[in-house]
Amino acid sequence: PPVIGVLALQGDVREHLIALASADAVARPVRRPEELAEVDALVIPGGESTTMSKLAVLFGMLEPLRERVRAGMPVYGTCAGMIMLADKILDGREDQETLGGVDMIVRRNAFGRQNESFEAKIDFAGIDGGPVEGVFIRAPWVESVGASAEVLAEYEGHVVAVRQGNVLATSFHPELTGDERVHAYFVDMVRASA
Ligand code: GLN
């Protein structure tokens, strides 16, 4: 089975490790460049993207991560992870870095404050068996996508799931629902790219 890392600088790492394991991947936390070098693919969890960006710089991970993404490593970002994978962000901190990878503009905290968090059923292109449960926590949305990015899901007119080549991003958190179909979709992407 593919070895998939979860970027463990900050955020809901444990939930992703569990979801990946139930989707038949070998999952392990990744904090250092040496650990990044040993995985086939990477998940970037939800959390707080400004903190994650700062820690990536501090741990010397920013450039190694950018290089792997540029080289085609499959990567999946949820919420803060989606923000990390955007080529451009709106309402970010001034010094906030992203890895890029998807030709999209992502607006941070677009769905409102923490107490406006919600769950919704999301139709997801390429995933069978009915809509997936989307958990949105101070979630971003995708304000616009470039021609090379494919929209996989929308909620109330806003793009909430995108794929560009080997890079997948969702505004919501499938790792919090016990429904591992989105993780299984990503594991299939990883297998297909091997
Ligand atoms: N609002 C957070 C950010 O900007 C993301 C929230 C989340 O990952 N649940 O990073």
Which of 66, 90, 190 has the alpha carbon at shortest distance from 144? Answer: 90
Q: Which atom of ligand 1 is nearest to the CA of 12?
A: 8
Which of 54, 49, 48, 42 has the alpha carbon at shortest distance from 7? Answer: 42
Alpha-carbon span 14 to 190, nearest angstrom: 20
Q: Which atom of ligand 1 is nearest to the CA of 48?
A: 10
Residue nearest to atom 5 of ligand 1 (CA): 80
Looking at residue 137, which CATH number applies to its domain?
3.40.50.880
How many C-alpha atoms does 41 have within 13 Å on its Cβ side?
27
Q: Which amino acid is at 54?
A: K
Q: pLDDT band for position 113 (50/70/90)?
A: confident
Assembly ipTM: 0.94
pLDDT at 194: 87
Q: Check whether 115 has a pLDDT greater than 90.
A: no
pLDDT at 165: 97
Average pLDDT rounded to a whole number, residues 76-96: 96
Distance 183 CA to ligand 1 centre (A): 19
Helix axes 13-22, 181-193, angle to 10 degrees: 70
pTM attached to this predicted model = 0.97
pLDDT at 116: 81
pLDDT in tens, 116-167: 899 999 999 999 999 999 999 999 999 999 999 999 999 999 999 999 999 9
Average pLDDT rounded to a whole number, residues 100-121: 92
**Would you list the DSSP string of 82-143?**
HHHTEEEEES--TT------EEEEEETTTT--GGG-EEEEE--TT--SSPEEEEESS--EEE
Alpha-carbon span 71 to 77, nearest angstrom: 17
**Pocket of ligand 1, beta carbon within 6 A:** 46-49, 79-80, 83, 108-109, 137-138
Q: What is the mean pLDDT of the chain?
A: 96
pLDDT at 114: 72
In the chain, how many domains are there? 1
Write out the two tokens for 47: 């959390």
Distance 75 CA to ligand 1 centre (A): 18
Q: Which atom of ligand 1 is nearest to the CA of 46?
A: 8
Range of the domain at 129: 3-193
Average pLDDT rounded to a whole number, residues 38-65: 97
Positions marked active-site:
79, 173, 175
